[in-house]
Chains A and B, each alone.
Chain A
Amino acid sequence: MKKWLGSTLVLATAASMLAACGGNNSNSGAASPSESGSAAASPSAKASAPASSVELTLWANTKDESEFDKSLRNEFMALHPNIKLNVIDKSGDTNTEYAIAYAAGVAPDVIDISGPMFKKYIQKGYFAPLDDFIASWPEKDKHTDVFKEIGIKDGTTYGLVTFLGPMMFGYNKALFSQANLQPPKTWDEMIADAVKLTDRSKNQYGYSMLANDWLDWFFQFYVWQAGGDLTTVKDDGTIELQFTSPAVVKALELYKDLKWKDQVVQSDITLDFNGMVQEFATGKSAMMIFAPDWVPMVASLGMKVEDLGIIPMPVGPSGQPVTSTGVALTAITGNISKEKQQAAWEWIAYRYGRDAITKKLQDQEKKGIVPPQIMIYKDMKQSDIVTLDPAWEEALNEGVSTGRDEYEGKAVLTKYVVAAVQKVLVDKNADIKAELQKQQDLAQKEAVDKYNADVLAGK
Chain B
Amino acid sequence: MQMKRWIRPWLFIAPALLSITLLKYYPIAQAFFMSLHEYDLVHPPGRFVGFGNYKSLLDIGFFWTSWRNTFVYLVLTLVLAFIPPIIQAVFLNEIKRFGRLFRSIYILPVVIPLSVTVILWKWIWHPDYGLANMITRYVGLGTHSWLNDLHLAKFALIFPGFLGGGIAVFIYLAAIQGIPEEIFEAATLDGAGKWRQLLRITLPNISFVIAIQLIFTVIGVLQILDLPFQMTHGGPVNSTSSVALGIYEYAEKNMDYGAATASSFMLMFVILLITVVQLLLSKEDTN
Contact = CB atoms under 8 A, between A and B. Distances in A.
Interface of A: 2, 6, 9-10, 13-22, 93, 96, 99-100, 102-103, 120, 124-126, 200, 203, 211-213, 267-270, 272, 411-412, 414-415, 418-419, 422-423, 425-427, 442, 445-446
Contact of A103 (B44, B148, B215): B44
Interface in B193-245: 215, 219, 223, 225, 231-233, 235-238, 244
A418 B148 CA distance: 14
B185 interface: no
A423 B237 contact: yes
Contacts of A268: 122, 126-128, 147-148
Contacts of B27: 18
Interface in B235-259: 235-238, 244, 247-248, 251-255, 257
B61 A20 contact: no
Given A17-B268, A268-B148, A418-B235, A10 B60 contact: no
Contacts of B225: 20
A99 B41 contact: yes
Contacts of A99: 41, 255
A96 B233 contact: no
Contacts of B148: 267-270, 426
Given A213-B233, A269-B236, A270-B232, A21 B261 contact: yes
Contacts, number: 133
Interface residues of B, number: 57
Contacts of A211: 235-236
Contact of A426 (B59, B237, B275, B279): B237
A9 B275 contact: yes
B28 A2 contact: no
B238 A20 contact: no
B42 A18 contact: no
Nearest to B59: A446
A124 B42 contact: yes
5 contacts: A10-B272, A20-B247, A21-B251, A96-B253, A419-B237
Given A21-B247, A124-B42, A270 B238 contact: no
Given A9-B275, A9-B279, A102 B61 contact: no
Contacts of B149: 426
Contacts of B264: 17-18, 20-21
B275 A13 contact: yes
Contacts of B254: 411-412
B71 to A, nearest CB: 16
B228 to A, nearest CB: 10
Interface of A (DSSP majority class) = helix
B59 A13 contact: no
A17 B150 contact: no
B145 interface: yes
A53 B122 CA distance: 53
Contacts of B235: 211-212, 269-270, 418, 422
A15 B122 CA distance: 32
A243 B222 CA distance: 34
Given A13-B271, A18-B264, A270-B147, 18 more contacts: A15-B28, A17-B28, A18-B31, A20-B244, A21-B31, A21-B251, A21-B257, A22-B252, A103-B41, A120-B255, A126-B42, A211-B236, A212-B233, A212-B235, A270-B236, A422-B236, A425-B236, A446-B59
Given A17-B271, A21-B260, A270 B61 contact: no
A218 B58 CA distance: 31
Q: Label chain B's interface by main secondary structure.
A: helix
A123 to B, nearest CB: 10
Interface string B36-75: 0000111110000000000000011110000000000000
B12 interface: no
Given A9-B279, A17-B268, A270-B232, A22 B20 contact: no
B107 interface: no
Contacts of A203: 128-129
Contacts of A103: 41-42, 44
Nearest to B275: A13
Contacts of A96: 252-253, 255
Nearest to B150: A426
B219 A102 contact: no
B134 to A, nearest CB: 14
A124 B219 contact: no
A425 B272 CA distance: 39
B5 interface: no
A20 B255 contact: no
A17 B225 CA distance: 12
Contacts of B28: 14-15, 17-18
B128 A267 contact: yes
Interface-centre pick from B41, B59, B248 (highest chain A CB count, 10 A) = B41
B267 interface: yes
Closest 7 CB pairs of A and B: A17-B268, A103-B41, A20-B244, A15-B24, A422-B236, A267-B127, A20-B247
B128 A200 contact: yes
B283 interface: yes
A419 to B, nearest CB: 5
Nearest to B27: A18
Nearest to B272: A13
A93 B248 CA distance: 14
A15 B232 contact: no
B276 interface: yes
Contacts of B147: 268, 270
A103 B24 CA distance: 19
A426 B236 CA distance: 8
B7 to A, nearest CB: 21
A125 B42 contact: yes
A138 B272 CA distance: 62
Contacts of A411: 254
A272 B229 CA distance: 11
